[in-house]
Structure 1
Amino acid sequence: MSIQKYVKFATKSFALPNVCVRLRELLDNPRSTAEDIGNLISIDTSLTAKVLRLANSSLFRFPSQIESVPKAINVIGGEALYNLVVSETASTAFTCFDSELIDLKKHWHGSVYSGMLAKHIALSAGVKVAERFFVMGILQNLSELVVAKRSPELYQEYMNSDKSQLPFEHQKQLFGFTFAHCSGIILENWNLPIGLFYPITNVNDVSRQASDREVGLLALANRIAVSQLEQENYANIELFTPEIANTVTVDMEMVGNATDYAERETVKVAALIK
C-alpha cells in the first residue's frame, strides 16, 4: 500500500480538535490577545487542567506555580502553549488508532520517552522553544499505529522479522517509507506548523541530517531512544553518524544527561497527558 493511502486513512479517521485549529488561528493573528487565547482554552476544563499540570511539570521547571492559562501564556508563550495542546491531542489520536498488535501503553511510554529525550537534547543545543521537540518525539511514530490498524498482516510481518537492521531501515525496505516520514506527512495534512512536521518528515534523510540542525537533533534523539528502549538488539548502535555530527553540537555527557532526564521524568509526564 502506498504512503498516500495510509495518510488518507489517518486523516479521514482522525481530525484535529477544533481547539487546536482555533488556537493556531489566534496565534497567527497579530490582533489576538492573551485573553483571547485564555478564553479559548478555558472553555474545556479538562484541557485547561492538563495544560496547567504540564506547564507546572518537569517540562518547564519554573520556580513559581502557574495557576491560570493567561499566566501560562505570559510565562511560557503562546507557541509553547500550542505545543502542550498538541501533546494532549496526541494521546487521543493514539487511542483512535489502537490495534491489538501494539501494546498501546508501552507505545505511549516509548513515544513520551522519545519526546523527553528530544526536548532535552534540543535544550542542550540551545534551541529555542525546545518543547516543540517534545511534541515531535511523541508524534513521529504515530503512523506505526496507523499502519498496524490499516495493514495488520504486513505489520505483523514487520514485527516478526529479524533485528539485523535498524527499525527505520527495515521500515523503508518493507513498506517503502519510514514511520516517521509517513507521520510527518499526516501532520502536514492536519495543518500543523512546518516547524513540527518538517523535521519528522525528514528525520531519516541523511542529507538533511547533515545540513539541517533540527533534523540532526531529532535523528540523534531517535538513535538514543532506540538504543535505550530496545537494548537487546540495538544497545551499541552508532549515535553520532558523520551526518549527525556535522550539524549537532552535543557531546556524550549531554547525551547521558538527556537519558537520565528521560528515564526519571517520562512516567510522570506521560501520566499527566493521558
Structure 2
Amino acid sequence: MNAFECAENAEEVFVLSDSFLRIKELIDNDSSTIDDIAEIIMLDPTLSITILKLANSSFFNYPGKIETISKAVLVLGITEVYNLVIAYFTTDAFKSITAAPEYIENFWEQAVDCALIIKFLGEELNVINAERLFILGLLHNIGELAVHQSMPGKIKACNSISDSEFPWEKQHSTIEFTYGECSGELLKQWQLPYSLIEPIRSQDEWDFEHATVEAKLLYLSKRIMLLNYQCKTHKPSSLITAEVLNDLNISPKMIVAANHFCNIERLSILSILSPGSAFVY
C-alpha cells in the first residue's frame, strides 16, 4: 500500500460531512455573500458553537465580543472562517477511529502544539494573516490516523525510534511512505486548497530554494514540537540546523517563546477541538 492508496482507503471511512461540502461550494462561488455562508454554518449548531468559541478565544485576541456567525465571517474574513470550518470537520471526521484514548489524546496534543507554534512564529515574522498557518500545523500529521486505520499493526513500529533516527525516516523504512505524504494525499482527495496540501506533503523535505514561507515554517515548527515529544532524547541541532534558523531569521529566544505560548494556549484549543484530549490537563 502506498500513500495514495492509504489515503483513499481512509477517505472511504472518514468522510467530510455534507455541511462541509455545501460551505466549500459557497466559498468557492464568488457570488456568495457573507450571509449565505453564515446561514449554512448556522444549520450545524455544533459547528457554529465551535467557531464562536474559537473566534472569541485568546487565539484571535479580538477586542470585542463576536456573538454571531455573520460577525465572525465579517471580522475574521471568509478565508479564516473557512480554515476554522476545515479544522472542525477534519477533527470531527476522525472521531470514529478505533484507537486507544491515550493514543488519540497524544496525537491531537501534538497536532495542536505544532499549530500553535507555527502561528506564533508566523506572527513574530509578520507573516500576513498568520492565523491561517494554524490549520497547516493542525493537519500536518493527519495521515498518521489514515495509516492507523489501514495498518494499525505498523503504527507502533513507525513511532518507536531511537535517538539516532528521525520519525519520517522510520516511517519510510517501515511502510515505504511518510505520514506527511499520506496527509497530503488525504487532503487532496478531500479537495482542500493546494495552499494546504503542498506544504503538508513536503514537510520533511530540506529544499528551501523553491519552498514557500508556509512550507519553511511548517518544516521548522514540526521539529520544535517533536523535540518536546517523540524526539526528546535527540540533540536539538540534529533536527533544527543553524542554516534553517538563519534562512527564516528565527532566534533560539523565539523558539523558547513559541513553546511558552504553546503551553499557555494548548488547553483552551484542545478543549474546543478535542475535549477528550484536554482532560489530561
Give the alignment's TM-score, normalised by structure 2: 0.90
- Give, as a single letter, the amino acid of the residue that structure 2 aligns with 1:125: L
Q: Does 1:151 align with 2:146?
A: no
Aligned to 2:76: 76
CA contact (8 A) 1:209 1:243 kept: no
Displacement of 1:193 in angstroms is 0.6
Aligned to 2:234: 234
Displacement of 1:239 in angstroms is 5.2
Displacement of 1:159 in angstroms is 3.5
CA spacing shift, 1:209–1:122, aligned 2, 3 Å: farther
Displacement of 1:101 in angstroms is 9.1
CA spacing shift, 1:238–1:156, aligned 2, 3 Å: closer
CA spacing shift, 1:86–1:199, aligned 2, 3 Å: same
CA contact (8 A) 1:23 1:37 kept: yes
Aligned to 1:213: 213
Displacement of 1:160 in angstroms is 4.1
CA contact (8 A) 2:164 2:234 kept: no
Root-mean-square deviation (CA, aligned residues, Å) is: 2.1
CA spacing shift, 1:244–1:188, aligned 2, 3 Å: farther
Displacement of 1:32 in angstroms is 0.9
Aligned to 2:111: 111
User: 1:127-166 counterparts in 2 under 5 A?
Assistant: 127-166=127-166
Aligned to 2:263: 263
Give the alignment's TM-score, normalised by structure 1: 0.92
Aligned to 1:124: 124
Q: Does 1:189 align with 2:176?
A: no
CA spacing shift, 1:242–1:160, aligned 2, 3 Å: closer
Aligned to 1:46: 46
Q: Deviations over 1:17-55 (max 9, x none)?
A: 222222222222221111111101111111111100000
In structure 2, C-alpha distance between the alignment counterparts of 1:195 and 1:187, rounded to whole Å:
11
Q: Deviations over 1:95-119 (max 9, x none)?
A: 2334249611121111111111111
User: 1:26-37 counterparts in 2 under 5 A?
Assistant: 26-37=26-37
Structure 1 unaligned residues grouped into runs of 5+: none
In structure 2, C-alpha distance between the alignment counterparts of 1:102 and 1:200, rounded to whole Å:
25
What count of residue pairs does the alignment treat as equivalent?
Answer: 274
Q: Deviations over 1:159-199 (max 9, x none)?
A: 34534211112212222221112101110110001111111
In structure 2, C-alpha distance between the alignment counterparts of 1:152 and 1:170, rounded to whole Å:
16
Q: Deviations over 1:49-70 (max 9, x none)?
A: 1100000112201111111111
In structure 2, C-alpha distance between the alignment counterparts of 1:233 and 1:272, rounded to whole Å:
31
* SS of 2:126 mapped into structure 1: coil
In structure 2, C-alpha distance between the alignment counterparts of 1:23 and 1:123, rounded to whole Å:
28
In structure 2, C-alpha distance between the alignment counterparts of 1:2 and 1:252, rounded to whole Å:
37
* SS of 1:206 mapped into structure 2: coil
- Give, as a single letter, the amino acid of the residue that structure 1 aligns with 2:70: P
- Give, as a single letter, the amino acid of the residue that structure 2 aligns with 1:73: V
CA contact (8 A) 2:4 2:186 kept: no
CA spacing shift, 1:125–1:154, aligned 2, 3 Å: same
Aligned to 1:9: 9
CA contact (8 A) 1:121 1:217 kept: yes
- Give, as a single letter, the amino acid of the residue that structure 2 aligns with 1:81: V
Residue range with higher mean Cα deviation, 63-72 or 246-255: 246-255
Deviating beyond 6 angstroms after TM superposition, the runs of 4 or more aligned structure 1 residues are none
In structure 1, C-alpha distance between the alignment counterparts of 2:210 and 2:225, rounded to whole Å:
20
In structure 2, C-alpha distance between the alignment counterparts of 1:221 and 1:162, rounded to whole Å:
21
CA contact (8 A) 1:102 1:145 kept: no
Displacement of 1:238 in angstroms is 4.0
In structure 2, C-alpha distance between the alignment counterparts of 1:223 and 1:147, rounded to whole Å:
21
